[in-house]
């Protein structure tokens, strides 16, 4: 399929549709365990859908560099398994009841089984990667896992407390952008690219991941529960100060700052309604400030791959940042 322009998500996903289907089959095959509960939880999570943006990035990176080996399918399954494992653990830590409009796995199987199932998915993803016999791939994945765990630990430490913008950016780099970055780097590494190409692809993934999380956090504050598939303003209910909230805290009156601090400390909107917090955020342009930062990261992602030879894959990579910014969930 040759396209002069990319105008919608279907065109992007059509470029690697067969590969993404193969990644899902590989995920299902690799999560087929003798311990039935592991398989049941993995099947439930896989059926929950999701954007599959991380394996999409790996596949697009490999395709941009003309790599068509079967390793791209296996490693695509690896990054989706790692992402899925983090979701299982996040839902337990956050005591979440829903995920993508369905009951979270821990509400069905309980925390104990889900913690272990998440651990199993982590270990299985490393087993698949080990079979590639490529130390560089393992190095990328080990460093990634350490960063994601560090990010989760940092977030737990900060719950209910005020953080500054730099602390927030460091947190989302570890928790979210690191997996986007490594997904792109893995695609480049599989293709045998040099360090400079892998670095540029990693920059693309980092910047895209930062934009993705900033938008996620804005949507958490503003979108309807029916669209999000989870309760609105979940971050504030969990004591998490995200970018727009931090921006307003640095500019608001003493009374407004106290209102935000009350919600973060209470982890509820009992004393201060959600609409009052939104009013404060809009008064200081805090939501638009976060959107502008996300747009800047999206543009930085585009700049990282601008020098690639023209192709459908390059046009897809140039289009994806806009999709990340404009999505509604």
| pLDDT at residue 227, rounded to an integer | 76
Query: Are 292 and 168 found together in one domain?
Result: yes
Pair (125, 175) in one structural domain:
no
Is the pLDDT higher at 226 or at 138? 138
pTM over 0.85: yes
Q: Please give the pLDDT value at position 4.
A: 62
Residue 45 half-sphere exposure, CB side, CA atoms within 13 Å? 29
Domain contains 58: yes
Q: Is the pLDDT of residue 1 over 80?
A: no
Examine the domain organization and report whether 113 and 46 are in the same domain.
yes
CATH number, domain of 174, equals 1.10.600.10
* pLDDT tens track for 174-221: 999 999 999 999 999 999 999 999 999 999 999 999 999 999 999 999
Answer yes or no: do 212 and 277 share one domain: yes
Answer whether residue 79 is part of any domain: yes
**Residue 166 forms part of a structural domain:** yes
Q: Indicate if 18 and 121 belong to the same structural domain.
A: yes
| 24 lies in the same domain as 65 | yes
- pLDDT band, very low/low/confident/very high, at 149 (cuts 50, 70, 90): very high
* Residue 120 structural domain: 12-133
277/185 same-domain check: yes
300 and 196 within one domain: yes
Give the tens place of pLDDT for each residue, 30-69: 999 999 999 999 999 888 877 899 999 999 999 999 999 9
Residue 316 in domain: no
Same structural domain, 189 and 293: yes
- Is residue 2 pLDDT above 70, yes or no? no
How many structural domains compose the chain? 2
Asked whether 297 and 208 are in contact (CB, 8 A), the reply is: yes
User: pLDDT tens, 67-84?
Assistant: 999 999 999 999 999 999
Looking at the structure, do residues 114 and 171 belong to the same domain, yes or no? no
How would you label 67-94 residue by residue, b for 16+ Cβ within 10 Å and e otherwise?
A: beeebbbbbbbbbbbbbbbbbbbbbbbb
């Amino acid at each position: 399929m040759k396209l002069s322009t990319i105008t919608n998500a279907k065109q992007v996903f059509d470029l690697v549709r067969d590969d993404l289907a193969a990644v899902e089959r590989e995920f299902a095959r690799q999560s087929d365990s003798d311990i039935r509960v592991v398989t049941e939880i993995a099947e439930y999570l896989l059926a929950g859908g999701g954007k599959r943006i991380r394996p999409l990035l790996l596949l697009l990176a490999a395709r941009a560099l003309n790599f068509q080996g079967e390793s791209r399918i296996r490693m695509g399954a690896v990054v989706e398994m790692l992402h899925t494992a983090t979701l299982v653990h996040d839902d337990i830590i956050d005591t979440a009841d829903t995920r993508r409009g369905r009951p979270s796995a821990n509400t069905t199987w309980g925390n104990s089984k889900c913690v272990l199932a998440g651990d199993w998915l982590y270990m299985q993803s490393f087993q698949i990667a080990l079979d590639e016999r490529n130390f560089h791939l393992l190095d990328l994945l080990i460093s990634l896992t350490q960063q994601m765990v560090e990010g989760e630990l940092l977030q737990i430490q900060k719950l209910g407390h005020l953080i500054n913008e730099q602390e927030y950016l460091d947190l989302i780099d570890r928790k979210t952008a690191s997996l986007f970055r490594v997904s792109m780097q893995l695609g480049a590494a599989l293709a045998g690219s040099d360090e400079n190409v892998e670095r540029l692809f990693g920059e693309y993934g980092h910047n895209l991941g930062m934009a993705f999380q900033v938008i996620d956090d804005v949507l958490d504050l503003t979108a309807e529960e029916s669209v999000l598939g989870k309760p609105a303003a979940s971050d504030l209910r969990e004591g998490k100060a995200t970018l727009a909230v931090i921006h307003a805290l640095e500019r608001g009156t003493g009374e407004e700052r106290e209102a935000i601090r009350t919600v973060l400390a209470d982890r509820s909107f009992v004393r201060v309604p959600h609409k009052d917090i939104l009013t404060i955020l809009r008064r200081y342009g805090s939501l638009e400030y976060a959107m502008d930062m996300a747009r800047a990261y999206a543009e930085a992602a585009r700049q990282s791959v601008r020098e690639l030879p023209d192709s459908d894959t390059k046009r897809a990579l140039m289009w994806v940042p806009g999709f990340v910014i404009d999505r509604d969930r």
